[in-house]
Structure 1
Amino acid sequence: MRPEILFPLYAPITSLKGVGVRVAPLLEKLAGPVVRDVLFLAPHSVVQRTRASVNTALEGATQIFEVQIDAFKRPRSPQQPWRVETYDGTGVLSLVFFGSFGGQLEQKHPLGAKRVVSGKVERFGLNLQIAHPDYILPPERVDEIPLFEAIYPATAGVPARTVRKFVLEALERTPELPEWQDAAWLAREQLPSWREALVRLHSPAGEIDLAPQTPHVRRLAYDELLAHQLAMAQRKADRRREPAAKITPAEISAKIRTDLPFALTGAQERALADIRHNFAAGERMSRLIQGDVGSGKTVVAMLAMADVAGGGGQSALMAPTEILARQHFETLSGPLSDHGISAVLLTGRDKGLARAEKLRALASGAVQVAVGTHALFQDDVNFQRLQLAVVDEQHRFGVAERQRLQAKGEAVHLIAMSATPIPRTLELTVYGDLDVSRIDE
């Protein structure tokens, strides 16, 4: 159950002021569906502004000027911009606008009016200009122009400044949470509290404040990593509490192994022993077998599937492409069928009577091993007693896809296989909810 203190962060983004039915889908694409997602949308850069007069203006810098509206210059053609000539007592500054802004400009900023303007200063011929100023405000509102402004990702219909407004409102709603990190460690690393880190992230005083090595960014990154690891540990604990069928080494598996034209390597032996230990425990297994191409992951999985078949269960091996599925089927089907284990290949190409016959065989239990692609978890595919799901190149499948395959049975064991090199730290981060067997060692 989520603590009540977190309710404001898990409110829908439509609870933010200004996020209506038009803006909500755009903001959700940019950040996510709840306030927390907007809160963690980090700025990608910072605009730094300084106060200046026209005669001291720096080309290429973003500066703030206090000026008087002196004249409007209408464009002679649609391709030319509107120009608003201003003067601050030291020189002339042109404000340039492309598009049909004329009527709005003259109405909002009449001749003789005093204004504070901000934007990037450019030179056009002998004159200084600002194209589409960031701010044009009455002098009494000069404090609304930040000297340091965080710039956020934007999308069509939601400009960066509007995103910033939503982020700052999300920050206002953020509670001060009880500290969950070790106080001595925080002091030693000179890290701020969680909320202070968020405040500093969204109020940078320069590009350096967005760098990964800054204390507030490090604090947020560590919290994210730790939370991810705790979630993985919780998932693993929940899974282990879920009872599953006990599977014992089968005589047929031993016969298949004897007929192999090679002996298992030590690493393959250890991986198979790890799987059988999980099978015997009566707890739902989720194990990653990691090894280079050709290291023998498929052979280990085949012997595990033979154990399942020997106990009267079924297995499914899912590959991301039809070519890879066919390669697996060619590798497995011979040794398995030689010892009475029926295997079938199911892909998107199967249609009509041929597909119907394969589906009947799986549903009746006449086939013990199914090899295929995404076709394996389609709604019309049913197993009589699916006990093991093997997913090859599992990083190419989404979590939901793997779950749909496992949902074809009760408390289905999972073997994930990957040839992608996985350093130990990344392995812990990405596959923290899986037990790991490496067969390239």
Structure 2
Amino acid sequence: MSTRPEPLFPLFSGLETLEGIGPKTSLLLAHLGVQAPRDLLFTLPYSGIDRHLQDSVKDAVLPATLTVAVTVGPHRAAPTKSGAYRIHVEDAQTSFQLVFFHARGDFWKRQLPEGSRRIVSGRVEMFDGTAQMVHPDFAVPEAEADTIPSFEPVYPLTGGVTQKLMYKATRAALSRVPEMDEWIDPEQKKQANWPSFSDAVVQAHDPKSLEDLAATAPARERLAYDELLAHQLTLALARASERRKKGRSSKGEGHLRKRVLAALPYKPTGAQTRAIGEITADMATDLRMNRLLQGDVGSGKTLVAFMALLAAVEAGGQGVLMAPTEILARQHLQGLRPLAEDAGVVLEILTGRDKGAERQAKLAALERGDIQILVGTHAVFQETVVFQDLRLAVVDEQHRFGVRQRLELGKKGRLADVLVMTATPIPRSLALAQYGDMDVSVLDEKPPGRQPIRTALISTERIDEVIDRLRAAIAEGRQCYWVCPLVEESEVSDLIAAEARFERLRAALGEGVVGLVHGQMPPADKDAAMAAFQTAQTKVLVATTVIEVGVDVPNASIMVIERAESFGLAQLHQLRGRVGRGTAASTCLLMYQAPLSETGRQRLEVLRETEDGFVIAETDLKMRGTGDLIGTAQSGVPRFRVADLERQAGLMAVAQSDARKLLADDPKLETMRGRSARLLLWLMRQDEAIPLISVG
């Protein structure tokens, strides 16, 4: 394993090596995500206090932080022990008071003797018609005026950590930045007018005005770019090392695919045909495929994936399709069985529920190669699962799998190709952040026959009208989803909300008409409830967001989403996509709790206006930010300390092309700029990328 370069040692030593930081403070700083001096460099001030010397407090709009030169006047001792000690002072135009609580004896008489000149800086407020500065931040003799920063940076804090401490700690970290050669393309740096790295960190921590705190300020933009470049280099290295991995050529002559296409009642869309072409071309080369298939709800990803799986079978191998949940795996099974029968291919399912002799029989058949296509949950990862010849792994609903699991799955087959499917339209900046290591195919057309969905906003006060509409729809033989709101984090309260709604609808619509499915149910009960709805025994399915991904009931044509304002736009779009799958005109009712906030209304109106998932995802990103959009914890999207994915999507794209170009020109990172880029990877804690650097 390569080791961290020596020039960076001081930045990665313990925090206690910085002056004034002991064991207790370093524990507190850990709450800010600061573990080493290096992290202080990227903990930038988020605001600033203007302490330029003013002539007087007279015409200032109070309250405000002001810095003025004063002559100290008479002192007035506090009337009680905890009362206010007041000092009368005069600036060039008016007088005001300095106020201290818990003042000790003659301390202030010595510090601010009557008749002396001082520069004071602090927050000035009006109190009983008098301007007061309570506990000034600075009170220094005129000769020491330069000890007051003219624009003081304000840092994010945590309990027990003060601004003074952060200021001191960041200066100490800055003094450890080594001289480093440039890793940014010289043309790019010149065009963007960026400072060097060492100048950029100093400037970012020493803003001269509010403009210097903007993301577009050259110093900050440069540091954001450095973060993005390191991240994109890591992805590009992962991509290059995946691509260098010898794959196996899986060329099918197409007889199985022809059978399926002949049996289909419709023609695939242009986008589907294009994606199938891209995927099978990748599979035919002797390099590993690592491709993302991105398509909106109902764009026909499953057919594309099945065609790819058939190509693997035609080449004499096996394929696996993995889904994140049991429900989805079973649904894929139902959807693909008829197609597999058309092709004459053996398709089987394997989930955590297969036990004992039945499981053993499936595993043996898989190892013999009798099962050609396997559908499963992550139970497919287990040691005991052995394929005879796995050629293609398809992973559904990517954001539940990180880069690591993608690599794990690839190991199952000797040199298996990997195709990842996601139904979440991802804004470009996030797609670059999350999947920069992959090649991407996009399905941007809807298959013929998909009905548009009418979307309406309705207040929860009108719930009785909604129930009446359901009654009428059920009488016409239609089915309906009713999604319950996301209650606080606890699953117990989700459950209570769902059960209460279930009881009310059952009372209104009759026994046996309404089913319930939620996250706390045992898997067998969940499947039974889903099956009853799929076979139309129940007409209304009350659900928590368990049904978000992939559930397919063509006869369901109404989707009611309660407290829609508490969901993310992308999630609402996914849920809405559960209807409109059959021939009936479909409706989605977004029920909101009045009064809606302005942004709440804007967000829901976006859904009413468009069914384009990409437009919705971009809007969601602008309105909510990256973290909320995909639940950052499990999203696989990196957390940047300086870069802002929503606002700096363009910067991310430049970083991606720069990273790919640098590696194309210098795959081993051996030139001067290449070696600096290695340093950047260490500096940005992307050291897992180092072993991926081309070794021939």
The TM-score with structure 1 as length reference comes to 0.80
Matched, 1:271 2:272: no
- Residue 202 of structure 1: how far off its partner (Å): 1.1
Partner of 2:349: 344
Amino acid at match of 1:123: M
Partner of 2:51: 49
Q: Could you tell me the percent identity over the aligned residues?
A: 39
Q: Take 1:71 and 1:425, find their aligned partners in 2: how far apart are those partners? A: 61
- Residue 351 of structure 1: how far off its partner (Å): 7.8
1:261–1:132 distance in 2 versus 1, CA, 3 Å:
farther
Total equivalences in the alignment: 428
1:52–1:314 distance in 2 versus 1, CA, 3 Å:
same
Contact 1:70–1:112 under 8 Å retained in 2: no
Instruction: Output one character per residue of 1:261-295: Cα deviation in whole Å (capped at 9) or x when no partner.
Output: 33333322222222222222222211011222222
1:356–1:213 distance in 2 versus 1, CA, 3 Å:
same
Partner of 2:86: 85
- Residue 18 of structure 1: how far off its partner (Å): 4.7
Secondary structure of the structure 1 residue equivalent to 2:297: coil
- Residue 253 of structure 1: how far off its partner (Å): 4.4
Alpha-carbon RMSD across the aligned residues, in angstroms, is 3.8
Matched, 1:389 2:393: yes
Q: Take 2:421 and 2:119, find their aligned partners in 1: how far apart are those partners? A: 62
- Match for 1:433 among 418, 434, 437? 437
Contact 2:46–2:155 under 8 Å retained in 1: yes
- Residue 9 of structure 1: how far off its partner (Å): 3.7
Partner of 1:335: 339
Partner of 1:247: 250
Matched, 1:216 2:219: yes
- Residue 344 of structure 1: how far off its partner (Å): 1.1
Unaligned runs of 5+ in 1: none
Q: Take 1:400 and 1:312, find their aligned partners in 2: how far apart are those partners? A: 28
Q: Take 1:358 and 1:143, find their aligned partners in 2: how far apart are those partners? A: 82
- Residue 45 of structure 1: how far off its partner (Å): 0.7
Q: Take 1:368 and 1:82, find their aligned partners in 2: how far apart are those partners? A: 84
- Residue 434 of structure 1: how far off its partner (Å): 0.9
Partner of 2:161: 158
Partner of 1:289: 293
- Residue 151 of structure 1: how far off its partner (Å): 1.1
- Match for 1:148 among 148, 151, 165? 151
1:427–1:62 distance in 2 versus 1, CA, 3 Å:
same
Amino acid at match of 2:209: G
Instruction: Output one character per residue of 1:362-418: Cα deviation in whole Å (capped at 9) or x when no partner.
Output: 8746655444555554x5663435543323332354334444444545544221223
The 5-angstrom pairing of residues 57-68 of structure 1 reads 58=60, 59-64=62-67
Instruction: Output one character per residue of 1:299-334: Cα deviation in whole Å (capped at 9) or x when no partner.
Output: 111122233345565544344455544433322244
Deviates more, 1:294-303 or 1:420-429: 420-429
Secondary structure of the structure 1 residue equivalent to 2:334: helix
Deviates more, 1:184-193 or 1:198-207: 184-193
Matched, 1:259 2:263: yes
1:64–1:282 distance in 2 versus 1, CA, 3 Å:
same
Q: Take 2:356 and 2:394, find their aligned partners in 1: how far apart are those partners? A: 27
Deviates more, 1:264-273 or 1:203-212: 264-273
Amino acid at match of 2:43: L
Deviates more, 1:18-27 or 1:328-337: 18-27
Amino acid at match of 2:89: D
Matched, 1:235 2:238: yes
Contact 2:397–2:420 under 8 Å retained in 1: yes
The 5-angstrom pairing of residues 22-37 of structure 1 reads 22-37=24-39
1:179–1:295 distance in 2 versus 1, CA, 3 Å:
same
Unaligned runs of 5+ in 2: 113-117, 446-696
Q: Take 2:269 and 2:275, find their aligned partners in 1: how far apart are those partners? A: 10
- Residue 433 of structure 1: how far off its partner (Å): 1.5
Q: Take 2:384 and 2:379, find their aligned partners in 1: how far apart are those partners? A: 8
The TM-score with structure 2 as length reference comes to 0.53
Secondary structure of the structure 2 residue equivalent to 1:173: coil
